Amino acid sequence: MPELPEVEAVTRRLQEAAGGATIVAARFFRPQTTHPVDGETVAARLAGTRLQRAWRRGKNVLLGLSSGETLRVHLRMTGNLFVLPAEAELPGATRALFTLADGRRIVFEDPRLLGRMALLSQQDLAALDAALGPEPLDRTFTAAWLGRRLTGLRRAVKLVLLDQSVVVGLGNIWVAEALFHAGVAPIRPARDVSGEEILGLHRAIRRVLSRAVKSAYRAYSAPGHTPESEGFGVAVYGREGEPCAQCGATIRRIGQGGRSSYFCPRCQRCTLLWRLLHLLQRQTRPRASGRNSPSAS
DNA sequence: AGTCACCTGATT
DNA sequence: AATCAGGTGACT
């Protein structure tokens, strides 16, 4: 599920439901969840600790334990983390289970098995923090910082914005939305984005994410209605072929970095030159055919 | 610096 | 059968 808004909602919910609770036992059902450490080792270290607080850094859920260690949970594409009442039935894709002293259970659900959990020392935690860029909704994220990180890069601006060392929290949906609201085409080389456009991007990132955070959190407190169900939907993501709400042009989808980018070709202009180059690049590349090609030497 | 593997499940 | 999916680290 998650980009920053969903991770934030999951974290807040966990803090409300289980902050201060004691974990009496833990179980991991798939080796890749805790790889390269085996689940039993992690489970043994969790058992008997108190979950002091849950917080978020980027797309990581962090669980501070009374042992001094921190459990890092990364939900990747399909992970989810929540508390269930004592007798509630477990979802089919339950990958880890923490039993609390009162009998409730923290469930880690993850159909695609891409999510990861790891115990971090204080040092590990500091290293993680240092490797990540600023939080987009904090003061530390400024237009000046964004400008500095875009400077000189030939790489497409969309791909740079997905780099979690530039700014944390953006994923494929909200990066598309932020670029749309800033009127910047995703394939533009980062270094060609003007100072004025950077100001607009900075503002759009903050606006789009703060709105999405509120919406994601509300979706929890009032189950049954999704973010989209009340006008907080997306403008371009997933809307290939539909008319742009702003100008009526047809929303396009292109491939970038192995994933889809959606944009409005009229609201997000880009020089013809770059469009042609991008098109050429993608058509020239032979489709992957199984094995590695021999490298020239 | 860019592609792909990691996985399963939903949709075409 | 093929393609796509809200992510990222490990690879050419």
pLDDT computed for residue A76 by the predictor: 98
Of these residues, A59, A72, A105, A149, which one is catalytic? Answer: A59
Which of A15-24, A53-62, A177-186, A230-239 has the least mean pLDDT? Answer: A230-239
Distances in whole angstroms, Cα of residue A227 to Cα of each of A66, A216, A217, A218, A273? 35, 6, 9, 8, 37
Closest-approach nucleotide to residue A256, Cα vs C1': B2
pLDDT tens-digit profile of A1-18? 799 999 999 999 999 999
Flag residues 219-278 of A with CB < 7 Å from strand B: 257-258
SS3 A90: coil
* pTM of this structure: 0.93
Q: Three-state SS for A159?
A: helix
Q: Active site includes A259?
A: yes
Whole-number distance in Å between A111 CA and C4 C1': 16
Residue nearest to nucleotide B2 (CA to C1'): A257
Q: How many CB atoms lie within 10 A of CB A287?
A: 4
For residue A97, list its beta bridge partners: A27, A107
CA dist A157 and A160 (Å) reads: 5
Q: What is the pLDDT of residue A193?
A: 96
Whether the beta carbon of A288 falls within 7 A of nucleic chain B: the reply is: yes
pLDDT (0 to 100) of residue A232? 63
Which candidate in A112, A259, A269, A282 is catalytic?
A259
Cβ atoms within 10 A of the Cβ of A43, count? 18
Please report the pLDDT score of residue A282 as a whole number. 65
